[in-house]
Amino acid sequence: MEAITNVALLGKGWLGSAILEQLLNSGFHVTVLSRTASPDAKFKTVQVDYSSIDSLATALKGHDAVVSTVGTTGILAQKIAIDASIRAGVRRFIPSDFGALTTRPGAESLPFNALWVEIQKYLKEKALVGDIEYTLFAVGPFLEFVMSMPFLADLQTQEVKLYDHGQHPFSSTSISSVGRAVSGALRNAEATKNRLVTVHDVVLTQSKVLSLAKKNSGPEAQWIINPVSSAAEFESSLGSIEKNGLDLFNTLALLKAALIGGKYDTKFERLDNKLIELPILSESQLEEKFAAGFKTMAASMQEFQGKHDGIEAEA
């Protein structure tokens, strides 16, 4: 099998930028497809209409692979991108599917997974008849998201809702490591053809995150711990979504209960880290990342509070 050389990137946000950096570092020739033209000396940019199969197919001619990092509103529109890739003769398509639970057995039916699962099925159908190849990724929640407040422990209020004593393990991967995983998978095209690539930086528990939060929030911090049942929280948030729909609050509540509640295999046992040359974080590296993250968040909160106080003073 010939090596993948030319890669088109759909979307260049936070995740897309991290993937772009790793692709360039690995020597791929990258074209960024965007709704607006933004020339850059390091890579080619092409302005496209994401809703037009003709526009996309023209831009994708000559590319070996497409990596999509489109946001939630563009997930289903990837069907057009997949069809355009097939028309253009693209060999491999990596969908924008780097979530915490979209590939977990039994979690397919969770309401917030529906769009991503639909794209997975569409890609697999196309691959089954030989139209295109795909690679999917299981990466767990982004490490930056885990460290952010108040997802698992609120640094500002120093309060945490502790699910089942914080005992359930889950895998987590940083944004930069996701970029390395994508690059590594494309470098190992044959071994990653039409399959799920499973990686992580580290295995965490909510208890571990809380421990790191306490360590980095200072000796004066007085943390308030509210023990809850994961099963009860899961059913409550699921019921709220069925009643009120998928708003941000209900989605995050269900995501958290599903992720750290032990209901799904969110701790990855069979890893592809060696295949794509992604090392596991050591304990000291993990602590350094958390310390840096907490320092940044604390500074941001102080800046926000300063601006808020200034506004009140002017009022």
pLDDT of 40: 66
pTM of the predicted model as reported, rounded to 2 decimal places:
0.91
pLDDT value for 34 = 86
Neighbours of 29 (CB within 10 A): 15
- Contact 91/65 with Cβ under 8 angstroms? yes
Q: How many domains does the chain have?
A: 1
The dihedrals phi and psi of 207, each to the nearest 5 degrees, come to -60, -40
Is the pLDDT at 36 greater than 90? The verdict is: no
Q: How does pLDDT run across 112-152, given as a tens digit for each residue? A: 999 999 999 999 999 999 999 999 999 999 998 888 766 78
pLDDT for residue 313: 34
Residue 35 lies in a domain: yes
171, β-bridge pairs: 203
Residue 109, in any domain of the structure: yes
pLDDT at 41: 65
> Residue 269 — φ and ψ, nearest 5°?
-95, -40
The SS3 call for residue 68 is strand
Share of the chain above pLDDT 70, in %: 91
Q: Has residue 58 got a pLDDT over 50?
A: yes
Percent pLDDT > 90 in the chain is 74
Residue 260 lies in a domain: no
Q: Tell me the torsion sign for CA atoms 166, 168, 169, 175.
A: negative
CATH number at residue 104: 3.40.50.720
| Distant-in-sequence, close-in-space partners of 68: CB < 8 Å, separation ≥ 6 | 10, 11, 78, 81, 93, 94, 95, 96
In a domain, 223, yes or no: no
| Mean confidence (pLDDT) of the chain | 90
Give the model confidence (pLDDT) of 255-269 as tens digits. 999 999 999 999 999
Q: Which of 250, 224, 220 is nearest to 235 (CA)?
A: 250
Per-residue model confidence as pLDDT tens digits over 176-224: 999 999 999 999 999 999 999 999 999 999 999 999 988 888 778 889 9
Please give the residue range of the domain that contains residue 39: 6-141+174-202+266-280
In a domain, 242, yes or no: no
Instruction: Establish if 168 belongs to a structural domain.
Output: no
Residue 46 CB burial class (10 angstroms; 0-12, 13-18, ≥19): middle
Bridge partners for 226 per DSSP: 161
Structure confidence at residue 21 as a pLDDT band (50, 70, 90): very high
| Span 292-302, pLDDT tens digits | 877 766 555 45
Whether residue 131 is contained in a domain is answered as yes
157 assigned to some structural domain: no
